[in-house]
Structure 1
Amino acid sequence: MLTRRTALLSAVAATALSAGSAHTASAAPRTAGRVRLTLPAPSGPYPVGTVSLRLVDTARADPWTTAQSYRELMVSVRYPARDTEGHPRAPQMLPGEAAGFAVVNNLADVPADQVDWAATRTHAHQGAPVDRDRGPYPVVCYSPGAGDPRSLGTTLCDDLASRGYVVVMLDHTYDATAVQFPGGRVERTVLPAEYDKAYPDEKRIRALLKKTMAVRVADTRFLLDALPRALPRELRGTPDWDRIGMFGHSAGGFTALQAMHDDRRIAAGADLDGVIAYVQDDGDPGHLSTVAADGLDRPFLLIGKDGNDLSTVPSWNALWRHSRGPREGLTLRGAEHATFTDEEAMIPQLARRLGLPRRTVVKNIGTIAPARAIPAERACLASFFDRRLGGRYDSGLPGRVPQARPFARRAAPAHRRSSAPGASAGVRPGASTARPR
């Protein structure tokens, strides 16, 4: 949820801003004795290759800083590889990104300074040759939650690439905790300071949310403009630019659907627990985005944490009622907001190694076990894009995933929202009652 995650960043703004200049590279924290984490291997038939690219939009001054007359982005491109021998596994975070994430993050009650974030390796191999025999491949773009780095979506992005997609992971500079550019320069988030300036004025907070989303959508549209020319020669011809989808978590899910509304190049979009209105709580009515107010005429998928569905999230209800195209929605039982990020795999490891209490695990990722949550998310997401973008590795319909409960076929009238705990279609007896982040 965009506002709530921005508010969390605000709570640590003083620490973040005192950690060093946003315009200089930060040294990685000492790693001796720090916890090292692993990520689950992709489930598709292809090995995965990756390259990182710097993109520069000279037509747009950076909206977050007056020091830069252009907008600068970093992206990671994942793709099906022919072989990976001799190509090392890419890190989840570069040293400067890891240092920034250790200082400012959306982890609840987790001592992030005790983790060696730079040590985690993904299952994507740097510079591995692309498998051209089965291409060109559909393209899926990924946008992370507010304040999150693109790398926190690695588990789902690597999996999609292993199933036959070119996946583009986008960092929103000065929104993400820290973005490291070639040469080692690091740019850190400004959202904590921006939120502090706006708080507690509701109008100013709403204006900040609208600005944040406008920047993200503009980043996405520039990405679609620039990437075909920016790809290295060995990858050109691999993406099928006539089959583009997008997904994201939290504010990234909002970004995916809003960009789809604004740009017809995006043929299908998936929103992982992202509210699509400028509000401070999932259940708040009003202040709809244009995608919620207008609806969509192309396929979209909503996946909510336990308790988030059409009866409890007014902006989703509005989107559902106003849309004319195919729509799918489901609730993942036992899930929390961060279940749809790499935290689902990381938090249990941290709990074991750092002796964190069960309540911390539940607060972050709910009651659903990673062994159930991760396969369910992968299956639902891959099936949606397989069917909507013509992929070749269909994992089955989302309704076949036991942990997922589909939304009702019709949205309830706007005035019939239930506010009773447990009233949503996705909640089962005994599900987590931890407050959402």
Structure 2
Amino acid sequence: MTIRLRRRTAVAALATLAMLAAPAATAQALSGPAPASTTRELPRPTGPYPVGVEVLHLTDHDRADPWVPEAGDRELMVSVHYPARPAGPGATAPYISTEEAEVILARLQLGDDAPARLSSLATHSRTAAKTARGRFPLVLLSPGFGNPRATLTSLAEDLASRGYVVASVDHAYEAIGAAFPGGRILECAACDAAETAPDDAAEREVLESVATGRAADLSFVLDRLTGPRPAWTGSRVIDRRRVAAAGHSIGGSAAASTMLADRRVDAGINMDGTFFEEVPASGLGERPFMMLGTTSFHSPGGEDGSWDRGWRHLDGWKRWLGVEGSGHSSFTDIPVLEERLGVTLDPTVTISTDRQVRITRAYVAAFLDQHLRGHHRPLLDGPAPGNPEVVFNSP
């Protein structure tokens, strides 16, 4: 594993989140100034449905936590975003709690005087909102290593507004500052294990364990949302015959691992993540899979050879899309947070925040529409004049 790849996992994720929560003066001193946006909300969802959200605490009593065994059974926090009815009660959900932001700040000792800079960001999801009428496909979302599930909120809200139920997962001890019941804010023990690994082979073993462990987590979430005694009161609207797994960074690797382990998952998306459990020669059972990432790191013959090997083994419908000018975090909320807070974290990114958001939303939704709903989306057929940044690779 290269040093650059190491930085694209635990260190990069932790530093990015901590700097986003830091006071503007500190972040700008480290990364250079950027104009702050006058608005403090996530981009508005583009679909016809209002969005509701409910947070679930799930415990898998059949597995012990792999990173902190003394903690007991494996725990997960899940945000379920869903299509809602136009009217009804419900406050707008916070982006992230002040307590979670405080832990993010403390991790890198950047000070604790501005945790509200993250927690005050406005979302577009209402708590206690009634589910819309109908049956909707389910999308399981897994974030990058060290990142809380909140960093995929904008994508989750947009998909829910388009008619998807989206379950975004915090995997215990795999994210900085993830809040669990009882006032517990868990640290990233898995990040520490990767960072203290004695060599690259040992580090890769840790990261493969993360990917395969998350596959078990996502299958368990699927059980609890569609099983006989579902954990979510709105689960009746989920169409269990239409399920996808998607994720960013190691969460994208986990999406493929979930498909390998669970035939109930019909399609998958890897957003700029190395395949730590590589796609086997036998493929994914002819199920569709899309790889959406940077052109700087995930180009054919480029630095991450796992995408070349994975592409050869994918045996169903597949796309390998690169976004020119993007960075590793371009497929998450982080560019939006940078703009809102007046921070520049990755000076190599040349594409605007608006374009990063629009491209990610458009291509992820097109893939899901085509493969979970059976609606052909020409956007996936080849290069589009309206999206000149998107490169279709076919090595």
TM-score w.r.t. length of structure 1: 0.77
Aligned-partner residue type, residue 198 of structure 1: A
Q: Does 1:118 align with 2:119?
A: yes
Identity across the alignment (%): 37
Q: Secondary structure at the match of 1:237?
A: helix
Does the 8 A contact of 2:93 with 2:127 survive in 1?
yes
Cα 1:303–1:111, aligned 2, differ >3 Å: closer, same or farther?
Answer: farther
Structure 1 Cα separation of the partners of residues 195 and 324 of structure 2? 34
CA distance in 2, matches of 1:121, 1:391: 34
2:301 alignment counterpart: 311
The range that moved more, 387-396 or 262-271, is 387-396
Contact 1:144 1:152 in 2 (8 A): yes
Q: Deviations over 1:222-270 (max 9, x none)?
A: 111222233333x131010110001111111111111112211110101
Residue 402 of structure 1: aligned partner: 387
Q: Does structure 2 retain, via aligned residues, the 8 Å contact 1:50–1:78?
A: yes
- Per the alignment, residue 153 of structure 1 pairs with 152
Equivalent position to 1:216, from 206, 214, 217: 214
1:271, 1:41 → 2: CA distance? Answer: 24
- Alpha-carbon distance in structure 2 between the residues aligned to 1:82 and 1:197: 48
The correspondence of residues 64-103 of structure 1 with structure 2, limited to 5 A, is 64-103=67-106
Q: Partner residue of 1:350?
A: 341
Match of 2:267 in 1: 268
SS at match of 1:230: coil
Query: 1:113: how far off?
Result: 6.0
Deviations 1:314-365 (A, max 9, x none): 21111211222000121111100011110111112222xxxx5x6x4525xx
- Segments of 5+ residues of structure 1 without an aligned counterpart are 17-27, 278-288, 412-437
When residues 396 and 195 of structure 1 are mapped into structure 2, their CA distance, relative to the original with a 3 A threshold, is closer
For 1:179-258, list aligned pairs within 5 A. Answer: 179-199=178-198, 201-228=199-226, 229-233=229-233, 235-258=234-257
CA distance in 2 between partners of 1:65 and 1:173 (Å): 9
| 1:269-284 correspondence to structure 2 within 5 Å | 269-277=268-276
2:167 alignment counterpart: 168
Would the alpha carbon gap of residues 267 and 178 (structure 1) be closer, same or farther in structure 2, given more than 3 Å must change? same
> Aligned pair in 2 of structure 1 residues 306, 408: CA closer, same or farther (>3 Å)?
closer
Q: Who is 1:362 aligned against? A: 347
Q: What is the DSSP-based 3-state SS (H/G/I as helix, E as strand, rest coil) of the residue aligned with 1:255?
A: helix
Query: 2:323 matched to 1:338?
Result: no
Equivalents in 1 of 2:129, 2:153: separation in Å? 17
Alignment partner, residue 32 of structure 2:
none
Counterpart amino acid of 2:268? Answer: G
Aligned pair count reads 367
Q: Secondary structure at the match of 1:362?
A: coil
Q: Deviations over 1:37-76 (max 9, x none)?
A: 4211111111100100011100111111132231111101
The answer to which of 135-144 and 92-101 deviates more is 92-101
Equivalent position of 2:290 in the other structure: 301
Letter of the structure 2 residue corresponding to residue 371 of structure 1: D
Change (3 A) 1:310 1:168: same
1:66 and 1:236, CA in 2 relative to 1: closer, same or farther beyond 3 A? closer
1:272 aligned partner, one-letter code: M
Question: Which whole-Å CA distance do the structure 1 matches of 2:101 and 2:192 have between them?
Answer: 20
Conserved? CA contact 1:57–1:71, under 8 Å: yes
Q: 1:2 to 1:50 in 2, by over 3 A?
A: farther
* Separation in structure 2 between the aligned mates of residue 53 and residue 168 of structure 1, nearest angstrom: 10
**Cα separation, partners in 2 of 1:117 and 1:179, compared to 1, 3 Å:** same
Measured in 2, the distance between the counterparts of 1:165 and 1:84 equals 19
Conservation of the 8 A alpha-carbon contact between 2:289 and 2:314 = no
Task: Confirm or deny: 8 A CA contact 1:3 1:209 kept in the other structure.
Answer: no
Alignment-mate amino acid for residue 80 of structure 2: V
TM-aligned CA distance change 1:394 to 1:121, over 3 Å: farther
Structure 1: which amino acid aligns with 2:392? F
> In the aligned structure 2, how far is the partner of 1:196 from the partner of 1:327?
33
Q: Deviations over 1:90-142 (max 9, x none)?
A: 1111233222233348xxxx98964521112211111100111xx20000010
CA separation in 2, counterparts of 1:151 and 1:157?
A: 9
Letter paired with 1:167: V
Q: Equivalent residues in 2 for 1:368-379 (5 A)?
A: 368-379=351-362
Render the CA deviation track for 1:287-320: whole Å, top value 9, x for unaligned.
Answer: xx34254422210111111322233132111121
Distance (Å, rounded) in 2 between the aligned partners of 1:374 and 1:301: 17
Distance between the aligned counterparts of 2:9 and 2:60, measured in 1? 25
Q: Partners of 1:7 and 1:290 in 2: how far apart? A: 19
Q: Tell me the secondary structure at the aligned position of residue 339 of structure 1.
A: coil
**CA pair 213-87 structure 1, distance change in 2 beyond 3 A:** same
Q: Which residue of 2 aligns with 1:51?
A: 54
User: Per the alignment, in what secondary structure is the counterpart of residue 371 of structure 1?
Assistant: helix
Equivalent-residue separation in structure 2 for 1:104 and 1:258 (angstroms): 30
Question: Which amino acid is 2:337 matched to?
Answer: M
Q: Deviations over 1:22-42 (max 9, x none)?
A: xxxxxx999xxx999421111
**What amino acid is aligned across from residue 120 of structure 2 in structure 1?**
A
CA contact (8 A) 1:292 1:315 kept: no
SS at match of 1:124: strand
Q: Structure 1 residue 144: deviation in Å?
A: 0.2
Deviations 1:151-201 (A, max 9, x none): 1001111100000000000111100112212342222211343134314x2
> CA–CA distance in 2 between the matches of 1:40 and 1:340?
13
d(CA) in 2 for partners of 1:392, 1:76: 27
In structure 2, give the amino acid aligned to 1:55: L
Q: What is the alpha-carbon distance in structure 1 between the residues aligned to residue 8 and residue 164 of structure 2? A: 29
1:138 and 1:166 in contact (8 A); partners too: yes
Tell me which residue corresponds to 2:177: 178
